[in-house]
Amino acid sequence: MIAHDEALRRIIARAQEDTGFRDQLKAEPRAALNALLGIEIPSVMTVSVLEDTPTHLHIVLPADDRLNDGALEDEALEMVAGGAWNPFEERTMDSPLPPPDAGDPRWSTFGGGS
Protein backbone atom coordinates (compact mmCIF):
# COMPACT_ATOMS: atom_id res chain seq x y z
CA MET A 1 0.00 0.00 0.00
CA ILE A 2 1.24 3.50 -0.78
CA ALA A 3 1.00 6.23 1.83
CA HIS A 4 -0.76 9.51 1.08
CA ASP A 5 2.47 11.56 1.16
CA GLU A 6 4.27 9.13 -1.16
CA ALA A 7 1.34 9.13 -3.60
CA LEU A 8 1.28 12.92 -3.63
CA ARG A 9 5.05 13.00 -4.18
CA ARG A 10 4.71 10.65 -7.19
CA ILE A 11 1.82 12.64 -8.64
CA ILE A 12 3.66 15.96 -8.36
CA ALA A 13 6.95 14.55 -9.67
CA ARG A 14 5.24 13.01 -12.70
CA ALA A 15 3.25 16.19 -13.41
CA GLN A 16 6.45 18.25 -13.31
CA GLU A 17 8.33 16.01 -15.74
CA ASP A 18 5.49 14.97 -18.08
CA THR A 19 3.28 17.74 -19.51
CA GLY A 20 0.94 15.16 -21.06
CA PHE A 21 0.31 13.62 -17.65
CA ARG A 22 -0.13 17.10 -16.13
CA ASP A 23 -2.75 17.96 -18.77
CA GLN A 24 -4.54 14.63 -18.24
CA LEU A 25 -4.46 15.10 -14.46
CA LYS A 26 -6.20 18.46 -14.82
CA ALA A 27 -8.70 17.25 -17.44
CA GLU A 28 -9.36 13.67 -16.27
CA PRO A 29 -7.93 13.20 -12.76
CA ARG A 30 -9.53 9.78 -12.21
CA ALA A 31 -7.97 8.35 -15.36
CA ALA A 32 -4.59 9.94 -14.60
CA LEU A 33 -4.52 8.57 -11.04
CA ASN A 34 -5.58 5.15 -12.26
CA ALA A 35 -2.81 5.13 -14.88
CA LEU A 36 -0.11 6.33 -12.49
CA LEU A 37 -1.03 4.58 -9.24
CA GLY A 38 -3.40 1.82 -10.35
CA ILE A 39 -6.27 3.11 -8.22
CA GLU A 40 -9.91 3.78 -8.95
CA ILE A 41 -11.61 6.60 -7.09
CA PRO A 42 -15.27 5.74 -6.34
CA SER A 43 -17.77 7.79 -8.31
CA VAL A 44 -19.26 9.15 -5.07
CA MET A 45 -16.03 11.09 -4.46
CA THR A 46 -15.17 14.30 -6.27
CA VAL A 47 -11.58 14.77 -7.45
CA SER A 48 -10.32 18.32 -7.95
CA VAL A 49 -6.90 19.25 -9.28
CA LEU A 50 -5.75 22.79 -8.63
CA GLU A 51 -2.67 24.44 -10.06
CA ASP A 52 -0.92 27.36 -8.38
CA THR A 53 -0.05 30.36 -10.52
CA PRO A 54 2.23 33.31 -9.83
CA THR A 55 -0.82 35.21 -8.58
CA HIS A 56 -2.97 32.44 -7.05
CA LEU A 57 -1.89 30.18 -4.19
CA HIS A 58 -4.02 27.22 -3.14
CA ILE A 59 -3.91 25.89 0.43
CA VAL A 60 -5.50 22.47 0.89
CA LEU A 61 -6.70 21.64 4.37
CA PRO A 62 -7.58 18.13 5.55
CA ALA A 63 -11.28 17.39 5.89
CA ASP A 64 -12.95 18.72 9.03
CA ASP A 65 -15.19 15.93 10.33
CA ARG A 66 -17.18 18.46 12.36
CA LEU A 67 -18.54 19.97 9.16
CA ASN A 68 -20.05 16.79 7.70
CA ASP A 69 -23.63 17.90 7.21
CA GLY A 70 -24.68 14.83 5.26
CA ALA A 71 -22.97 15.99 2.08
CA LEU A 72 -21.77 12.44 1.49
CA GLU A 73 -24.31 9.68 1.27
CA ASP A 74 -24.21 6.94 3.89
CA GLU A 75 -22.61 4.50 1.43
CA ALA A 76 -19.77 6.92 0.71
CA LEU A 77 -19.27 7.61 4.41
CA GLU A 78 -18.99 3.89 5.11
CA MET A 79 -16.25 3.66 2.47
CA VAL A 80 -14.16 6.45 3.98
CA ALA A 81 -15.24 6.40 7.63
CA GLY A 82 -12.28 6.57 9.94
CA GLY A 83 -9.98 6.63 6.94
CA ALA A 84 -10.72 2.97 6.23
CA TRP A 85 -10.60 3.41 2.44
CA ASN A 86 -7.20 4.44 1.19
CA PRO A 87 -7.46 5.69 -2.41
CA PHE A 88 -3.68 5.49 -2.75
CA GLU A 89 -3.45 1.76 -2.06
CA GLU A 90 -1.77 0.12 -5.02
CA ARG A 91 -4.20 -2.03 -7.02
CA THR A 92 -4.53 -3.53 -10.44
CA MET A 93 -7.54 -3.21 -12.70
CA ASP A 94 -8.53 -6.71 -11.54
CA SER A 95 -8.43 -5.75 -7.86
CA PRO A 96 -11.93 -4.70 -6.77
CA LEU A 97 -12.35 -2.73 -3.58
CA PRO A 98 -12.81 -5.20 -0.73
CA PRO A 99 -15.60 -4.61 1.77
CA PRO A 100 -14.51 -2.73 4.90
CA ASP A 101 -12.93 -5.32 7.17
CA ALA A 102 -10.76 -4.22 10.07
CA GLY A 103 -8.84 -7.51 9.85
CA ASP A 104 -7.90 -6.98 6.21
CA PRO A 105 -4.40 -5.41 5.99
CA ARG A 106 -5.43 -3.55 2.84
CA TRP A 107 -7.73 -1.39 4.97
CA SER A 108 -5.85 1.11 7.07
CA THR A 109 -5.95 4.67 8.28
CA PHE A 110 -5.67 7.07 5.34
CA GLY A 111 -2.05 7.79 4.72
CA GLY A 112 -0.88 4.33 5.69
CA GLY A 113 -0.70 2.81 9.13
CA SER A 114 -3.43 2.30 11.63
Domain assignment of residue 60, yes or no: no
Domain assignment of residue 2, yes or no: yes
Helices 4-17 and 19-27 pack at an angle, to 10 degrees, of 120
pLDDT of residue 26: 96
Q: In which domain, by residue range, is 84 found? A: 1-52+69-96
Domain assignment of residue 29, yes or no: yes
Phi, psi of 74 (to 5 degrees): -55, -40
Domain assignment of residue 81, yes or no: yes
* pLDDT tens sequence across 11-56: 999 999 999 999 999 999 999 999 999 988 888 889 999 999 999 9
Domain assignment of residue 114, yes or no: no
| Helix (H) or strand (E) segment spanning residue 35 | helix 29-37
pLDDT of residue 114: 42
Domain assignment of residue 62, yes or no: no
Overall pTM > 0.75: no
Whether the predicted pLDDT of 104 surpasses 80: no
The total number of structural domains that make up the chain: 1
Burial class (CB in 10 A: 0-12, 13-18, 19+), 33: buried
Distance CA 81, CA 84 (A): 6
Domain assignment of residue 8, yes or no: yes
* pLDDT tens sequence across 52-77: 999 999 998 887 777 655 555 555 55
pLDDT of residue 112: 43
Domain assignment of residue 59, yes or no: no
Residues in the chain: 114
